[in-house]
Amino acid sequence: MAPRFLSVAQLQTGMVLAGDIIVSHSGLLLCSKGEVVGGPMIDKLRSWGIEYAAVEHNYDMRREETLEQVECLRQKVHDLFQAIVFRRSPELTGLTDAVEEMVISLDRLDLHFFRQALAQLKRKDGYTFVHCLEVGLGALLISRQLGCRREDMVHHCLGATLHDIGKLSLPRAILTNPGKLTEEEFDIVKHHPAIGIKVLKAAGMHHPLVLNAVAEHHERQDGLGYPYGRSCDQITLAGQITAVADVFFALLSDRPYRKAWCPLRTFEYIHSQKGIQFSHETADALIDSLSPLYLTGMRVLLSDGSSGTVEKVDPRLPHRPSVRLENHVVDLRNCPEIAVISA
Ligand SMILES: [Fe+2]
């Protein structure tokens, strides 16, 4: 289908460029075909006096399909959670079908828009509910990055979406306690992976990848996790994927006891915990697959007083990205004297 030519004023976040944008008098490549439009890109085009850009024609269809998928998933998880809270027998077929559908259409979805839609849901739905959707999406992208088979991607996503289902059966006073839990309360919380397994088995879910994701999402590589204290290879891939996605999205969220971390600090933390809390393989896959969604295009202020937008992230040094300044790119991997001071 032919691209659409839009004025820069008509560009919207999430659209995809259908061609390179080059400064005519100097030949400087400003943006490349396939890049996703964001606020910083629009600012850059304006500052270079660019008036028009070609975007992929199917932009609206992609957004529409993405929104449908988010809404379908939200509804299925909502129904499931309600059934458990009100002690009705939960039904998993609807959610399994919705995840299968999402995996099949994953390449057509607008993941930037998916992320924004989840962020909006966070304002009206409870933390645990939206956190489960985020961890499910994260696990799906990590699983794809690791080259897993489509069937395994479905079950990694399903297991991660259901990882905290056991929490719904914990006393409400513990779940809604904004302060630090007592030792006794934390001992009760530690039962939620086992409770989750019980709930899922009672609902007819016996797939090992799904059960492993739920059972092992608080296990750590160093053996200091719970409930089993497993370490390294004793933790299944499904458990490793869910564990790293769970911590990543928890850190990015406001909690009663702390503010949300900025994405750059969160990626740096995930990187620093390789081999301690998370496996190297799954932490790298998370950084590879999620940094384009959370870091690329982000505005940052550098310690030398300059500011720009994150252009590229090296998964081995996620806190030292390449940053596009007004008319050049600085690769912070090669500039140890410059740090990102705010994002
Ligand atoms: Fe949990």
The per-residue pLDDT for range 293-311, each reduced to its tens digit, is 888 888 899 999 999 989 8
Lookup: tokens for 285: 């896959």
How many angstroms does the Cα of residue 167 sit away from the middle of ligand 1? 7
Residues with CB under 5 A from ligand 1 (ion): 164
How many angstroms does the Cα of residue 158 sit away from the middle of ligand 1? 15
What residues contact 27, with CB distance under 8 A and at least 6 apart? none
Query: Which residue is listed with tokens 């390789």?
Result: 274
| Percent of the chain topping pLDDT 70 | 98
Tell me what pLDDT residue 1 has. Answer: 61
Which of 288-318 are b and which e, b meaning 16 or more Cβ less than 10 Å from the residue's Cβ?
bbbbbbbbbbbebebeeeeebbbbebbbeeb
How many angstroms does the Cα of residue 334 sit away from the middle of ligand 1? 39
Average pLDDT over residues 67-82: 90
How many angstroms does the Cα of residue 200 sit away from the middle of ligand 1? 15
Task: Flag whether pLDDT at 123 surpasses 80.
Answer: no
157 vs 36, more confident: 157
Distance CA(51)–CA(24), nearest Å, equals 12
How many angstroms does the Cα of residue 136 sit away from the middle of ligand 1? 13
Question: Residues 161-202: pLDDT tens digits?
Answer: 999 999 988 888 888 777 788 899 999 999 999 999 999 999
| Residue 312, H or E segment | strand 307-314
Average pLDDT of the residues of the chain: 90
How many angstroms does the Cα of residue 248 sit away from the middle of ligand 1? 13
How many angstroms does the Cα of residue 273 sit away from the middle of ligand 1? 18
Query: Which residue is listed with tokens 């992976």?
Result: 193
Tell me what pLDDT residue 148 has. Answer: 97
Tell me what pLDDT residue 14 has. Answer: 72
Closest residue by Cα to residue 139 from 45, 48, 36, 244 = 244
Lookup: tokens for 166: 């056991």
How many angstroms does the Cα of residue 86 sit away from the middle of ligand 1? 20
Give the CB-side neighbour count of residue 182, counting CA atoms within 13 A. Answer: 4
